[in-house]
Structure 1
């Protein structure tokens, strides 16, 4: 008698393929967000601070 657990299941295959696509997309979005955050951090850290504006005296 054949083992039913080793038989190919097209629905499971489609489901896993879709889940893999979603996981890949989420990974791509997370990687892009991390790169943006890192770039923003270093850009802010390496640029000199802007000079403070002088307040006008009220009369």
Structure 2
């Protein structure tokens, strides 16, 4: 006697194909969003590190000299 569970089912086949397509599209969108966020984070870290090094290497501005106020007579 043949096993009825091994029989081909066209409705189930179409449903699984459609589900596979939807899941594949969602997976692609999730991966691309992850790549975008990774690139944004990497750019922010690089900018912060560059700004920190440039701030450390540039000389500070000279202090302003205080001027004394003359008294009016």
Q: TM-score range by the shorter chain?
A: 0.7 to 0.9
The alignment's TM-score, normalised by the length of structure 2, stands at 0.62
Please identify runs of 4+ aligned residues in structure 1 that moved more than 2 A. none
Per-residue displacement from partner, 1:3-59 (whole Å, max 9, x unpaired)? Answer: 22111000000000001001100110010000000000011111137xxxxxxxxxx
5+ long unaligned stretches in structure 2 = 53-73
Distance 1:14 1:4 in 2: 19
Equivalent-residue separation in structure 2 for 1:6 and 1:42 (angstroms) = 51
If you compute each CA radius of gyration, which structure gives the higher value, 1 or 2?
2
Gaps of 5+ in 1: 50-59
Give the structure 2 partner of residue 16 of structure 1: 16
Please, which moves more after superposition, 40-49 or 20-29? 40-49
- Aligned Cα root-mean-square deviation (Å): 1.4
